[in-house]
Amino acid sequence: MRHRWWLTAAVIPLAASAVAGFMSVAQASGSGHAAKPAIGPPGIGGGKTGLAAGYPFCKRLGKTIQASAAAQMYCFGAQAAGRFQPHVVRPATGASRNVDAANFAEDVSPAGVRGYGQSETSIAASGRFVVEAWNDSTTFFSTCGAKHFKEEATGVGFSVNGGRTFRDIGGLRNPGCRVNLYGGDPSVVAYKAGGHTFFYIFSLYLPTNFSGPTHIAFDPCEVMGSGSAAHLHCGRPVVAASSTQCAKFHHFSFCSFLDKDFATVDPARGRLYVSYSDFPVIGFGDPIDMSVCDIGTRAGKPGPAGGTPAHPVCKHGTPLVKTTRLRGHLFVGKPYFTVAPKGRLGCLNEGTYPAVNIKTGGVYVGYEFNWESNLFFPQCFNSKTRTRDVLTSTPRHCLPLHVVAACKHPANRARVDVVSLDSAFIPGYNRFPASDFPRLAVSNRFGTVTMVWNDTRFHPNGDIMLESFKLGSLARVQNVPTVLDRPHGGGLSMFPALRVANRNGRLDVAWYSRPSARTTFTGVKGAVNVSPMATSTPGNISITNRNTNWLQNNSDIIPNFGDYIDAVVSATARWPFVGRTWFIAWSDGRSGVAQPFSAHIRG
């Protein structure tokens, strides 16, 4: 089994270590131009890994901090998982049609090397058009200029027939790949405007030479043509967020690392919101920030900030300015909006997910507090730093299309205590720790915002929990959280997916599931048409028609099946802006190689 290098974590005086790291790398790297790759695992775009380049964030990753799969790819490159002897268990069967959104023929580099593994899937749909995106291992063995943008760490599949089949179109389009590369952690949003269908595909957007700001960016993609001849035309990357701290030494800038982005759309007002973690240059803790983008009106005309559906305009904070700290080498800017400051005592915030109240324009953001630091930071081991999932509420008037928001912090905040899955070594899951990240959906019909998450208070291997709150005030609806997964012999339940309420204001939730504690065969289950007011466990359905034995699976990516899946109701142009079809996306290893699968269920 893979060496658990992350267990060697030690808490160190971060300010001193960061400065020392900056100086040593700046002296070693000199001009700041990208060097030839060293012998060792290839990084994204076929270049150096961040660790090989001495990037300070990567030196901390796995020791004093943990971050997303995309950060792992950027810092450590290809990391093949070993094979294991499987448990002999009959795979479960179900009624859902399962479709691979990728193509094995596309997973081959220009030099003829196969990449193994796609994970961390996101999906969006509108009418007969569907887009799924994922972390793509082909990036490790391809360089800038590769056909179909294979060097990008974000892969894309496009369907013109409602998700029955997909065309793997390679990496996310990026003409500027010599300077920045898409780094994975995708989030896909659909929007209909002016009779046209648009998909916005968000990902990390990272410097190839490890110098300068890190970003969250997205490609605005429009469906062109009709019928089976339709294709997805993507433009150039649009930066939605950038580092808020940079330390400059000689020709190098080492900046805060933006991570774990996820996006949502306000179709009533033509806005995109993306929330993310911002790991600072110096110090412990990571604030949760948010940006806003103007994507124009539903008629396809420019919005208040001049954005259109094809050419969005984003507001993501002030430029970096020099401070007196670090002898004038530190540059600091403000994000558009800070959802949460650095965690108490440096305990980490991660796993941020937003949702919009389309009736009022208010924005809700959920995240996990004290993720990973609850294992490795002694100051985060006490009741005052209890692991929890946090929900914030911010009204529309706080979020104008300006450089920075009109309010300094959210109007309201609620939390649920979590009995965390973090310390579990999950057989077949090639990463430690796991997570308890929340997912959100707003229901105007019920007047609620609902949070779902995995929790081990009843079973050591987890259950999927639901709790709803009243819009605006965030007053609790249930007295205690509601369990969504049916009893399953103590098997694993984790990584729930939820984004929007359906046309009836009810919720469709999906999650990874194992039928018992005696197996590593993993599928996807769901609870359909659940009331946000529910106080009893609903019925469950099988999304996957065949389960995956993750103990015998090839993947060059850690984690091999990601730390999130996705589920969303198809988008429409009119109120309530959702259709009748529910789409689910997950990483599936039934072929022996992790692949981005999808299924859909018409309501």
* Tens digits of residue pLDDT in 118-168: 999 999 999 999 999 999 999 999 999 999 999 999 999 999 999 999 999
The contacts of residue 480 (CB under 8 Å, 6+ apart) are none
* pLDDT level of residue 170 (50, 70, 90 thresholds): very high
CA 601 to chain centre: 23
* pLDDT level of residue 208 (50, 70, 90 thresholds): very high
Alpha carbon separation from 197 to 128, 191, 223, 250, 280 (Å, rounded): 10, 6, 6, 46, 37
Q: What is the rounded average pLDDT of the residues 253-281?
A: 96
Examine the pLDDT at 30 and tell me if it is beyond 70. no
DSSP 130-188: EEEEEEEGGGGG--TT-GGGTTSSEEEEEESSTTSS-EEEEEPP-TTTTTEEEEEEEEE
pLDDT, residue 348, reads 94
Examine the pLDDT at 187 and tell me if it is beyond 60. yes
**C-alpha span between 54 and 343 (Å, rounded):** 26
**What is the β-pairing status of strands 321-322 and 548-549?**
unpaired
Q: What is the rounded average pLDDT of the residues 367-393?
A: 95
pTM: 0.91
Q: Where are the domains of the chain?
A: 5-602
CA atoms within a 13 Å half-sphere pointing along the CA-CB vector of 35: 18
Q: What is the rounded average pLDDT of the residues 377-391?
A: 95
Examine the pLDDT at 506 and tell me if it is beyond 70. yes
pLDDT, residue 325, reads 74
Examine the pLDDT at 333 and tell me if it is beyond 90. yes
pLDDT, residue 96, reads 58
pLDDT, residue 64, reads 77
Q: What is the rounded average pLDDT of the residues 60-87?
A: 74
pLDDT, residue 344, reads 81
Tokens 């919720």 belong to: 507
**Higher-scoring residue by pLDDT: 2, 145:** 145
CA 386-390-391 angle, to 5 degrees, is 160
pLDDT, residue 80, reads 60
pLDDT, residue 161, reads 96
pLDDT, residue 451, reads 98
* Tens digits of residue pLDDT in 334-368: 999 999 999 888 899 999 999 999 999 999 999 99
Q: Do residues 500 and 486 make contact, with C-beta atoms less than 8 angstroms apart?
A: no
Percent of the chain with pLDDT over 70: 91
CA 251 to chain centre: 31
Q: Which residues pair with 507 in a beta bridge?
A: 530
pLDDT, residue 448, reads 98
* Tens digits of residue pLDDT in 535-546: 999 999 999 999
Q: Do residues 147 and 110 make contact, with C-beta atoms less than 8 angstroms apart?
A: yes
Q: What is the rounded average pLDDT of the residues 434-457?
A: 97
Average pLDDT across the chain, whole number = 89
